[in-house]
Amino acid sequence: KNQVEQSPQSLIILEGKNCTLQCNYTVSPFSNLRWYKQDTGRGPVSLTIMTFSENTKSNGRYTATLDADTKQSSLHITASQLSDSASYICVVSATPNFGNEKLTFGTGTRLTIIP
Amino acid sequence: DSGVTQTPKHLITATGQRVTLRCSPRSGDLSVYWYQQSLDQGLQFLIQYYNGEERAKGNILERFSAQQFPDLHSELNLSSLELGDSALYFCASSVDGLTRTEAFFGQGTRLTVV
């Protein structure tokens, strides 16, 4: 069964500090992995997308890594800001041999930045 | 602003009723996705359309249905509503409906069933 597990469920850090969010998946066959940021009550916004051959991808202060062998991804946030307070969702896509691509969503990590 | 427009923003209705949620995709996007997000739950994929045709179906209940019209806007119909259907319903659109292509989300419709 395709699954995406994220940890921690929630995290509180001081403004200016760094943090790392984890995503472990058992989705197969793997196609790509995406990290989304979702502010409370708003639609998710894509941060990064990585395919099998990509190990790392950055978007400003956000850096995502992917280890396809261990089926793990991380999202590192540098020099956190109050506006980084949000839920971060890991989404993994599988491409079956026959049939459409299927997305599996993690339940997200709720990040709170405090001044 | 993602360019995806969802209406209405909020909807309150009684159990047993039927509602229609509307989504206008970004200009040029051919694919529309519908998602449900219950309180403190992750996003659940409901259904995807591409250029008017159903492309993929997720955990969509039989009481729910959707369609994409020739002008590419989409509607999600929810009938025989139950308290548990209360959730945020998101629409997303993308150019070609492939997961490696970025999908842009609307701001959602918050449905409350009382």
Helix (H, G, I), strand (E, B) or coil at A84: helix
Angle at B84 between CA B81 and CA B85, to 5 degrees: 50
Report the DSSP beta bridge partners of residue A103: A93
Determine contact: A1 vs chain B, CB below 8 A.
no
Spell out the per-residue pLDDT of chain A, length 115, in tens.
Answer: 778 999 999 999 999 999 999 999 998 888 899 999 999 888 999 999 998 889 999 999 999 999 999 999 999 999 999 999 999 999 998 876 555 677 888 999 999 999 9
C-alpha distances in Å from residue A68, one per residue of A53, A54, B47, B68, B112? 8, 9, 28, 36, 40
Q: What are phi and psi of B85, to 5 degrees?
A: -80, -10
Q: Tens digit of pLDDT for each residue in B76-88? A: 999 999 999 999 9
Helix (H) or strand (E) holding B31: strand B31-37
Out of B44, B48, B102, name the one closest to residue A49 (CB).
B102
Site from B100, B101, B102, B109 to mutate, A interface, most A CB atoms within 10 angstroms: B100
Tokens of A59: 């978007």
Q: Where are the alpha helices (DSSP H) in chain B?
A: none
pLDDT attached to residue A98: 54
What residues have CB less than 8 Å from B71, skipping those under 6 apart?
none
Cβ–Cβ below 8 Å for B103 and A108: no
Cβ–Cβ below 8 Å for A44 and B100: no
